[in-house]
Amino acid sequence: MSVEEMVLPGNKEAALPATGCVQEEVYEMVYHRPATLVEVNMHYCPGCAHSLVHKLIMEVVEELGIQEQTIGIAPVGCSVFAYDYMDIDMQEAAHGRACAVATGIRRLMPEKYIFTYQGDGDLAAIGLAETLHAINRGENLLIVFMNNAVYGMTSGQMAPTTLPDMVTTTSPFGRDPMQSGMPMRMAEMVATLPGAIYVTRQTVNSANAVRKTKKALLKAFQLQQQQKGTSFIEVLSNCPSNWKMTPVESMQFIGEEMVKTFPLGDIKLPATTD
């Protein structure tokens, strides 16, 4: 039985035929692969959160029925090939320039749902200016910010979000805040900008956390209909390969260490729900 055909007892519409003297059982569908996600193998390392967040975004797009109206922008980084997996219109952007590209698309096609999908090196380093100015202008976008505390694609160098004392390829003795500064808390920073309508930090290291992240994505896409500003969702994610951990260990590290520097939860909500 395929994943798309996973069922549980309770639904007579999905009954399995009885064989021999085995009593007939009834099942109901509990999960199906979103049709908006292309059925191909992904290039991400085993256990990486990128594939999971891709799935969540595409589930929301499918549930809202906006596949033909959605445009995603993926810049340089581990997610550079996101357009191979999401069955929507996608636009590639130069390193760090996703918000600038998204702004141009938004101005030309204001009726579309537009989101960027960016890592911490892309968004918080080379693309910091584009990101802050787009949010300050209140561009009607969703920015999905994947924070795994390193430059994932290029061997795990120290990023603006690297934790204090965290070992990377360019900080072999650990990040020294006296020399390199403290990690940048992007969600808290952008929440101060008047153009930000919704800012939250979530993660995907547990089933409950995954549900909260999907709920945040759904809210952000719905807010685009109101044309009120920028939604910013930071997702604490893992990088098992560069962290030199197993996938399970890396998920535990998020819950035990990353949240100390990057606390989870909503940081800025629309005025009607403040």
Q: Are residues 174 and 211 located together in one domain of the fold? A: yes
Q: Are residues 26 and 42 located together in one domain of the fold? A: no
Q: How many CA atoms lie within 13 A of 199 on its CB side?
A: 18
Q: What share of the chain is helix, strand, coil (3-state, %, to 5)?
A: 40, 20, 40
Higher pLDDT, 16 or 225: 225
Q: Single out the residue of 164, 107, 135, 150 nearest to residue 233, CA to CA.
A: 135
The rounded distance, in Å, linking the Cα atoms of 16 and 26 is: 6
* Residue-number span of the structural domain to which 66 is assigned: 34-273
Of the pLDDT bands very low, low, confident and very high (cuts 50, 70, 90), residue 25 is: confident
Of the pLDDT bands very low, low, confident and very high (cuts 50, 70, 90), residue 23 is: low
The rounded distance, in Å, linking the Cα atoms of 56 and 200 is: 16
End-to-end CA distance of the chain: 46
Q: What are the pLDDT digits (tens) for 208-247? A: 999 999 999 999 999 999 988 999 999 999 999 999 999 9
Q: Are residues 53 and 3 located together in one domain of the fold? A: no
Q: Are residues 110 and 58 located together in one domain of the fold? A: yes
Q: Helix (H, G, I), strand (E, B), or coil: what is residue 240?
A: helix
Judged against a pLDDT cut of 90, whether residue 21 lies above it is answered with no
Q: Are residues 152 and 22 located together in one domain of the fold? A: no
* 76, 48 Cβ separation under 8 angstroms: no
Q: Are residues 88 and 170 located together in one domain of the fold? A: yes
Q: What is the pTM of this model?
A: 0.89
Q: What is the CATH number of the domain that holds 247?
A: 3.40.50.970
Residue 3's pLDDT is 46
The rounded distance, in Å, linking the Cα atoms of 102 and 118 is: 12
Q: What Cα–Cα distance (Å) separates residue 117 from each residue in 1, 97, 99, 194, 260?
A: 33, 11, 10, 22, 24
Length of the chain: 274
Residue 218's pLDDT is 98
Of the pLDDT bands very low, low, confident and very high (cuts 50, 70, 90), residue 4 is: very low
Strand partners, 266: 200
* 98, 122 Cβ separation under 8 angstroms: yes
Q: Are residues 41 and 113 located together in one domain of the fold? A: yes
Q: Are residues 165 and 205 located together in one domain of the fold? A: yes
Q: Are residues 198 and 228 located together in one domain of the fold? A: yes
State the total domains in the chain.
2
The rounded distance, in Å, linking the Cα atoms of 235 and 96 is: 18
Q: Are residues 123 and 84 located together in one domain of the fold? A: yes
Q: Are residues 256 and 121 located together in one domain of the fold? A: yes
In the sheet where 70-74 sits, what is the strand order? 89-92, 70-74, 113-119, 142-147, 230-236, 196-203, 265-268
Residue 15's pLDDT is 47
Q: Are residues 85 and 208 located together in one domain of the fold? A: yes
**What's the chain's Rg over C-alpha atoms?**
20
